[in-house]
Each structure stands twice: as structure tokens, then as C-alpha cells.
Structure 1
Amino acid sequence: MRFLAALLLWLLTTMALAVAIPAVWTQWNVIGEDGYAGLAASAARDSRLQDAMAGELTTQVLALATDNGYSLNPGLAREVADAYTRNDGFPGQFAQANRIAHRWMFTGAVPSGNSTDEWLIDVAPMLSDPSFAATLGTLDLQVPPTLTVPITVDTPELQPGKLRWLATWGPWAAVGAAAITGVFALLTLAAARSRGKALTALGVSALLVGAAGWTGIEMGRRFVEAGLNRTTGDIRTVAEVMVAHAESSMHLWLNYTLLAGVGLVVIGALGAVLGSVLRRPSPSVGS
């Protein structure tokens, strides 16, 4: 009976861990605005994203100049954009620009002048960088307070605040899943006859969840591609790089899970062997 109870608790622990790892990662890196901005800053150090953003910023600054009756040298504009996206301040400014996209999706905050269902990123802070300002200043051309660029094509499936429910319940789900996992793990240890074998079993849980996570990411690639198909041009490259960095972050978390599993298996096996030795009766004197 005790074995069955321990087995049931182990299964519940494994299922809870399978929910907790992606829930905590998603809350930390996607739902939380600061985490999402941090992910964007990390991706902004990738040369592919830098090249794509340089191309988009060049397009925007040339369009801005044309709309105001000026002719700007495209080669010069691109040189300025390339230099800007490779300076140390770009990751922070790119992360800040991405916050407007995050708020649009998770809170419903709509930038002024946006009357469409497009997901937007504000590039005005980047074009206001001193390197651009110096170039634009020779034309007496001012960057508007907000200059948004569509991330996705206009579609009724994307609405402001579409993921507001995740912003509301995501933190509770992440904390709850982690707490339940911890409780079930402790109950598994309490119900097992051998603490060493129970630790080994919990290590196996972590190994199973880590391996399943890697498999799940691979299986989800087609859904990611469907989402990327909503983007075009340089912005698609930006989105692809951000998705790649998100996958890399998820893989890192899963690797930590696998390492924790290996550690628990080793500690559990050593504990089981030591416990068996300590429980072995000593040979009687003279036998």
C-alpha cells in the first residue's frame, strides 16, 4: 500500500513538474514585461537582428525625410543605421521599443494613431538616438514622439489585449505549479520506504520532463512558422531571431532540469547504497 501511494505521488510530481517548468519560463520570459524586454535585449546582440533592424530603420528614416520634402542619401542613412545597431546602447533601446508591442498584446494599450489590428513596435526612440539626430538635424527634420512599425499583417485574429488573461493568471499559474510540484515531491519522499530510491525516482522525473520538453519544442516548430508567416521583410528576420533566442532560453532551462535530474539520480543511488550498508546486520563475534 505504501509503495502504491509513493508511486501515485511520484506520477503526480512528474506531471506537476511538466507543467511548472514551461509555466515558470513563460511567466519569467514572455508574460512579464521586464522578462520580455530582457529577451529582446539578448536578441538585439545577434548580428542578424542588427542587420534587419538597420534595414528597417533606414526604410523609416528615408520615408520620414521624403514625407517632409527632403532627399536623403540611402547609402549614408544605411551606414548610420548599421553603426547605430552595433553600438552598445542598441540592445537597451531595442528592448524599450519592444515594450509597446508587449503592452499592446498583454494589456490592450494601443499607441496613439493606431486604428488597425496590427501588432506594432515603436522605432521613434531608436531614430531619436544622437547618431540619427545628427544626420536628421542637418535637414531640420524632427522625429515624431511615436513612429510605429507593424510586426504582423493586419488580421482580425490579433486584437489589443488578446493575452490579457495570461497577464492576469500567468503569475498565479507559475507560482501554483511550482508550489504543487514541491509539495508532491516532499510527499513522495515521505511516503517512500527508501529516501534514496525516492530521490532517484524524482531525478528520473526531471530527466523525463527535460527530454519531453526538448521534444515538445521540436514538435511546436510548425506552429511557430505559422506565426512567423504573419510577418514580412526585415521585421520577419527580427521575429525569427527573437524566436530563436526564446528557444535557446527554453533549451537552457531544460538542460538545467536534466542536470538536476542527473544529480538527484546520483545522490539517490548513493543514498540507497549507503542506507543498505547501514541497515546490514553486523556479523556476530566468533561466528
Structure 2
Amino acid sequence: MRFLATLMLWLLTTLALAVAVPAGWAQRDIVDEDGYAALAARAAGDSRLQDAMAGELTTQLLALGGENGYQLNPQLVRTVADSYTRNDGFPGQFAQANRIAHRWMFTGAVPEGNSTDRWLIDIAPMLSDPSFRATLGNLDLAVPPTLTVPITVESPDLRPGKLRPLATWGPWASIGAAVLTGLLALLTLVAARSKGRALCALGVSALLVGAAGWAGIEMGRRFVDAAVDRTTGDIRTVAEVMVRTAENSAHHWLNITLVTGIGLVVVGVLGATAGAALRRPDTR
């Protein structure tokens, strides 16, 4: 009976851990606005994203100049844009630009002039950077307070606040899953006859969850790629880099889970060995 109780608790712990790891990652890096902004800042260090954003900023600035009756030098504007996306201030401003996209999807906040079926980022802060202002010289070319750029094509599947339930319940779900996992792991240790073997079993749980997570990411990649296909032009490259950065972040969490599992297995084996040695009768 005790063995069956321990086995059941171990299975429940494994299932809870399988929920806690992805839930914790998603809450930290996707659902939380600050976490998503930090993810965007990390992605901004990729040269492919920098080149793509330089191209998009060039396009928008040339269009803004044309609307105001100015013929800007495309080569000069692109040179300045390349320099800007490679300076130390770009990751922070790119992260800030992505906050509007996050709020659109997770809270339903719609910038003025935005249609309700397109996901946008605000590039006005980037075009207002001093490097661009210096290039424009004395031109009376004022960048509007908000200049949104679509990062998806129009789709009825996209609407403001579609992920609002995740923003509402995500923190509770991630915390609850973590607490439940810890509680079940503790109960598994209490119920087990051999604490060393129980630690080994919990380590195996972590290894199973980590390996399953890696496999799940690979299996889900085609669905993510289908979502990226909704983006166009330079913004498509930006979206691809953001997705890969998110994948790397998820892999990091899974690697920590795997390393923790290995550690628990090693400690469990040592503990079980030491316990067996202590229980062995002295034959001398």
C-alpha cells in the first residue's frame, strides 16, 4: 500500500512539474509585460534583427519625409539607421516599442488609428532618437507621438485582448503549479521507504519533463512558423528572431530542469548507497 501511495504521488509530481516548468517560463518571458520587453531586448542583440529594423526604419522615415514634401537620401538614411540599430541604446528602445504589441494582445489596449485585426509595434521612439534628428538637420519633419507598424497581416483570428485570460490567470497558474509541485514532491519523500530512491525518482521526473519539453518545442515549431508566415517584409525577420529568442529561453528553462534532475539522481544514488551501507550488519 505504501509503495502504491508513493508511486501515485510520484506520478502526480511528474504531471505537476510538466505544467509548472512551461507555465513558469511563459509567465516570466511572454505573459508578463516586463519579461516580454526583456525578451525583446535580448533579441535586439541579433544582427539579423538589427538589419531588418534598420530597413523598416529607413522605409518609414523615407515615407514620412515624402508625406511632408522632402526627398531624403535613401542611402544616407539607411546608413544612419544601421548605425542606430547597432548602438547600445537600441535594445532598450526596441523593447519599449514591443510593449504596445504586448498590451494590444494581452490587455486589449488599441492605439489610436489602429485597426482591430492587426498586431502593431510603435517605432516613433526610435525615429525620435537623436541620431535621426541630427541627420534630418533643419528639416521641419516632426515624428508623430505614435507611429505604429503592422507586424501581421489582417486576420479575423487576431483581435485586441485575445490573450487577456492568460494575463489575468497566468500568474496564479504558474505560482499554483510551482507550489503544488513542491508539495507533491515533499509528500513523495515522506511516503517513500527509501529517501534516496525517492530522490532518484524525482530526478527522473525532472529528466522526463525536460526531455519532453525539448521534443514538444520541436513538434510545435511548424505551428509557430505558420504564425510567423502572417508577417511580411523586414518585420518577418524581426518576428523570426523574436521566436527563436523565445525558443532559446524555453530551452534554458528545460536545461535547468534536466540539470536539476541529474543532480537529484546523483544525490539520491549516493543517499541510497550510504543508507544501505549503514543498514548492512557488521559481520566482523
Q: TM-score w.r.t. structure 2 length?
A: 0.99
Q: Return the offset for 1:52.
A: 0.2
Q: 1:214 is matched by which residue type in structure 2?
A: W
Seq. identity, %: 76
- CA deviations 1:199-256 (Å, max 9, x no partner) are 0000000000000000000000110011001101100000000100100111111111
What are the residue-to-residue correspondences of 1:1-287 with 2, within 5 Å? 1-283=1-283
* Partner-residue secondary structure (3-state), 1:75: helix
Of 208-217 and 128-137, more deviation after overlay is shown by 128-137
The residue type paired with residue 55 of structure 2 is G
Q: Which amino acid aligns with 1:177?
A: A
Q: 2:190 is paired with a residue of what secondary structure?
A: helix
Q: CA deviation at 1:76?
A: 0.3
Contact kept? 2:110, 2:116, Cα under 8 Å: no
Are the aligned partners of 1:136 and 1:142 in contact in 2 as well (CA < 8 Å)?
Answer: no
106-115 vs 194-203, greater mean Cα deviation: 106-115
Q: What is the CA-CA distance between 1:117 and the residue it aligns to?
A: 1.4
- 1:164: Cα distance to partner? 0.4
Determine helix, strand or coil for the equivalent of 2:115.
Answer: coil
Q: 1:51 to 1:57 in 2, by over 3 A?
A: same
State the 1:282 CA deviation. Answer: 1.8
Distance 1:115 1:150 in 2: 10
> Which letter maps to 1:42?
R
The answer to whether the 8 A contact 2:116-2:159 is kept is no
Is the 8 Å Cα contact of residues 116 and 160 (structure 2) preserved in structure 1?
Answer: no
More off after superposition, 37-46 vs 111-120: 111-120
Residue 135 (structure 1) shift: 1.8
Distance 1:133 1:23 in 2: 43
Q: 2: distance between equivalents of 1:4 and 1:208?
A: 20
- 1:96 partner amino acid: Q
TM-score by length of 1: 0.98
C-alpha separation between the residues in 2 aligned to 1:252 and 1:123?
A: 30
Q: Which runs of 5+ in 1 are unaligned?
A: none
Amino acid at match of 1:21: V
After superposing on structure 2, the runs of 4+ consecutive aligned residues of structure 1 that deviate more than 4 Å are: none
8 Å Cα contact 2:117/2:154 also seen in 1? yes
- Kindly provide the amino acid, as one letter, of the partner of residue 273 in structure 1: T
Partners of 1:91 and 1:102 lie apart in 2 by: 16
Q: How much has 1:261 moved relative to structure 2?
A: 0.4
Match of 1:121, SS? strand
2: CA distance between counterparts of 1:147 and 1:116?
16
The question of whether the paired residues in 2 share the 8 Å contact of 1:103 and 1:109 is answered with yes
C-alpha contact 1:58 1:81 (8 A) present in aligned 2: yes
The one-letter code sitting in structure 1 at the alignment partner of 2:106 is F
Structure 2 stretches of 5 or more lacking a match?
none
- Amino acid of the structure 2 residue aligned with 1:40: A
Cα distance in 2 for residues equivalent to 1:67 and 1:116: 25
Rounded Cα–Cα distance in structure 2 between residues aligned with 1:110 and 1:20: 32
How many residue pairs match? The answer is 284
Aligned counterparts of 2:89 and 2:210: Cα–Cα separation in 1: 36
Kindly state the Cα deviation for residue 281 of structure 1 after the two structures are TM-superposed.
1.6
SS at match of 1:149: strand
| CA RMSD in angstroms, aligned pairs only | 0.7
AA of the residue aligned to 1:107: T
